[in-house]
A and B are shown apart, each in its own frame.
Chain A
């Protein structure tokens, strides 16, 4: 695994469609400030029924390179497993996975430019006076503006001229907003810190399912630890990393029940420049955590259907059994 392998992203996405044409399509859903197309991979098996969905985005912050690497890993994992892993296959039948490998494409490309740009975070839209660049996309969503943000364009947590002023945030807002009733899980992937954060970022507001989010989060952190013994701290943002205007908070406010921010490796030793030999293990452990949350969300939603199906199956068997007894006795 190395960072160059999946760069540029469009080629890799096209390759996925070519390799798995029955289950993968590319959906273009917006444009960046510099007019690049924002795309996601839609992954799922054909179904007659109305499907639910899982949303995952990576690369909202340009310098967090391990995040896009994880989105790619996640996609490859589910595509490589669904034919042999019945659980993954079931989930793909009941749900579509919408995965955006890089949301902040302009910022990400800029961070690849040279050594001096590697630590860029924001997007690349110019500020109001044109002498500073970039809005922090993860402070630009329409969600409880107020904590952990700055109204100064030079700041790395500049929230933008107004909520959803940025085209990248608009793209997500429109796509997810128009499907919010079907989306069970909204996972946004970042680095670094080894954290699993639950809504809300603003200390004055609590998600109604906070206890459940914490419980599922703690179980996901255990799943992560089981892979490579790395500790991920689970908590509500105000307790661990206060902020507002985040995509996660906005998603929770739309009613999407299971929304989490993943902050991947490490805890500050290499920070944003995570060595390439840590890409694979980081992705493996994060996959364990993400899958736990996704499976939980899926099972909670579809267990009712499973019970109904099982009940129908048994009643059919019973009826057949009774009919057979009748036939035999006559």
Chain B
């Protein structure tokens, strides 16, 4: 795969159901150590998602940050590999507008950080969060500066090693409790984040902020096909609810095809 010049892409995602957490308001009486913020400023978010910021957004505040995180997930689904992984470096500017009754669109200028080569690239992106039930996934368009490193040789080497290998990969808890990852597991940790990004992108709303928490388990499966195939149990962290979400994910990867998700299913968290 080679990338040159500007890249413009549209991704349309499918439908899904969504659980939401419980939140409620309680009245508080006047107190000497706080003052009640006046409600006249309609661009201040109320915290319940009813009145959301519109127009020019503060790039440090959560509405812009949550939308920018969605762009990160999108970039990883689109370009990620065992040797290419994006983090969100910064949000430079953001605007948002309601699109009739259909949803809200964010326009963002961000910097994405390619973690493995340690390079930053600027992107401009649109994120559209559709309204209505059942909740739908966001739609992302992104255009980034050319900076993507060629990782073909490394990917091929990894692919060959595990395609022909006499033993299938099987690993648990990456990173481990101390944050340690064995060097030869690093590409599979990156691959797991890329694969999980499909889930995180699919599940994101204006009220979520997902990061990968941990790979609970990843197992390579026998397959007749060209691509490597993996069964996995991924742990995702949502900063807003603070929950750890458990997902089973069946996916394939090859240098030619990239990551393709075959099945993804949320499983209940253990009761403890």
A residues adjacent to B (C-beta < 8 A): 2-4, 112, 115-119, 121, 131-133, 136, 144-152, 155-157, 193, 199-200, 202-208, 231, 233-235, 238-242, 252-255, 267-276, 278
Tell me whether B213 and A119 are in contact (CB under 8 A): yes
Residue in A closest to B35 when the chains form the complex, CB atoms: A206
Q: Tell me, in angstroms, the Cα distance from A136 to B241 when the chains sit together.
A: 11
From A233, A240, A253, contact of B34 by CB (8 A)? A253
Tell me whether B211 and A268 are in contact (CB under 8 A): yes
B167 at the interface (CB under 8 A from A): no
Comparing B123-131, B135-143, B170-178, the segment that makes contact with chain A is B170-178
From A152, A157, A207, contact of B33 by CB (8 A)? A207
B180 at the interface (CB under 8 A from A): yes
Residue in A closest to B85 when the chains form the complex, CB atoms: A269
Q: Tell me, in angstroms, the Cα distance from A255 to B31 when the chains sit together.
A: 11
Tell me whether B22 and A151 are in contact (CB under 8 A): yes
Known contacts A205-B36, A270-B175, A278-B179: does B242 contact A241 (CB below 8 Å)? no
Tell me whether A2 and B212 are in contact (CB under 8 A): no
B90 at the interface (CB under 8 A from A): yes
From A199, A239, A272, A276, contact of B61 by CB (8 A)? A239
Known contacts A146-B25, A151-B22: does B87 contact A268 (CB below 8 Å)? yes
The 3 nearest A-B residue pairs measured at CB: A268-B211, A275-B179, A273-B179
Tell me whether A203 and B37 are in contact (CB under 8 A): yes
Smallest beta-carbon distance A231→chain B, Å: 7
Residues in chain B near residue A235, CB distance under 8 A: 60-61
Known contacts A136-B242, A278-B179: does B212 contact A271 (CB below 8 Å)? yes
Known contacts A270-B175, A271-B211, A276-B178: does B33 contact A208 (CB below 8 Å)? yes
**Chain A binding surface SS class:** loop
Q: Tell me, in angstroms, the Cα distance from A133 to B269 when the chains sit together.
A: 13
Q: Tell me, in angstroms, the Cα distance from A272 to B175 when the chains sit together.
A: 10
B residues adjacent to A (C-beta < 8 A): 21-26, 28, 31-37, 44-48, 58, 60-62, 65, 87-88, 90, 115, 172-173, 175-181, 211-214, 216, 235, 237, 239-244, 270-272
Q: Tell me, in angstroms, the Cα distance from A155 to B47 when the chains sit together.
A: 18
Q: Tell me, in angstroms, the Cα distance from A269 to B192 when the chains sit together.
A: 12
Tell me whether A275 and B180 are in contact (CB under 8 A): yes
Q: Tell me, in angstroms, the Cα distance from A39 to B241 when the chains sit together.
A: 30
Smallest beta-carbon distance A140→chain B, Å: 14
Smallest beta-carbon distance B195→chain A, Å: 16
Residue in B closest to A231 when the chains form the complex, CB atoms: B90
Known contacts A117-B272, A269-B87, A271-B211: does B180 contact A205 (CB below 8 Å)? no
Q: Tell me, in angstroms, the Cα distance from A276 to B175 when the chains sit together.
A: 11
Residue in A closest to B59 when the chains form the complex, CB atoms: A233
Known contacts A115-B172, A239-B60, A271-B213: does B33 contact A149 (CB below 8 Å)? no
> Which of A152, A240, A254 gathers the greatest number of chain B CB atoms within 10 Å?
A240
Tell me whether B270 and A276 are in contact (CB under 8 A): no
Residue in B closest to A122 when the chains form the complex, CB atoms: B242
Question: What are 19 A-B residue pairs whose CB atoms fall within 8 Å in the complex?
Answer: A115-B176, A117-B272, A119-B244, A155-B21, A157-B241, A203-B46, A206-B34, A207-B33, A208-B35, A235-B61, A239-B62, A267-B87, A268-B237, A269-B87, A271-B211, A273-B177, A275-B181, A276-B178, A278-B179
